[in-house]
Amino acid sequence: MAIKTLRAELAARGDLEERFRNEAITASRLRDDRIPQIYDIDRLAEGTQYIVMEYLEGEDLEVRLRAGPVELGYAARVMFEVLDVLGRVHQLGIVHRDIKPSNIFLARSTLLGEVPKLLDFGIAHLARDGAVGAGMLGTPMYMAPEQLSVGRALGPATDVFAAALVLYEMLAGPHRPRTAEGTDAYHHALRTGQTARPLNALVPVPIGFSEALERGLRIEPGERFRRAEDFAVAIEPYAMDRAAFHELRRSATVG
């Protein structure tokens, strides 16, 4: 097991303490191998909050991608698993709001091989009844357009956008779907409706796969896949077999 706490200098900030607790409560509502299991949440006598959670071995996707782009079948399998568990999250009325490579952990074991796990529900919020986002909460370079404005409704399509962006990055390396250097330029591209560059203009991928990515990256939420499950279904034909995926990484772990 692992014990997670907030550093003392951060614990005094009420917003961070709330996010910390929110992460534990959100994750504990799900029982899925692709989300780290939460065993306990409590406070020490002097007030420090802590979470007792599953200990993970492996590396996050951000670290993996430092070696360069990955193969299509592998990328599609990783993202299929993320989207599949996101579908379960969304069914609870929760939007993650911070899908990015560092929040996708590639956990390894000698028994199961590699299992992608979705991390960090600290800024997740309920999306039922037209709930709106607080605006600008998330990681700036992975935000969907609707996250840039206070008061705009967020929903499953918000997470679909970020997942499509991560999948694009897994295959295109440093090239992003919207040509903009820096956060301000990227947000300007979103606000002005810049069309995403098709992945198959950069990487030799099937047209159907490229079109699925393009749909996930559309500016208007209503034009994207409305459900994570729909995006998962669209990319599944290009994903390597789940058994082969686990065996691939299991063999690497054993070796």
> Do the Cβ atoms of 12 and 49 come closer than 8 Å?
no
The single-letter code of the amino acid at 38 is I
| φ/ψ bin of 73: left (φ > 0), alpha (ψ from -120 to 50), beta (otherwise) | alpha
Please identify which residue in the block is written with the tokens 């896949």: 225
For the question of residue 15 being annotated catalytic, the response is no
Q: Specify the DSSP class assigned to residue 111.
A: T
Among residues 98, 120, 159, 230, the one annotated as catalytic is 98
Q: How far apart are CA 194 and CA 81, in angstroms?
A: 29
Q: C-alpha angle 159/163/164, rounded to 5°? A: 120
Q: Which helix (H) or strand (E) holds 69?
A: none
As beta bridge partners, residue 126 has: 94
- 230's CB contacts (< 8 A; 6+ apart) are none
Give the residue numbers annotated as catalytic, written as ranges.
98
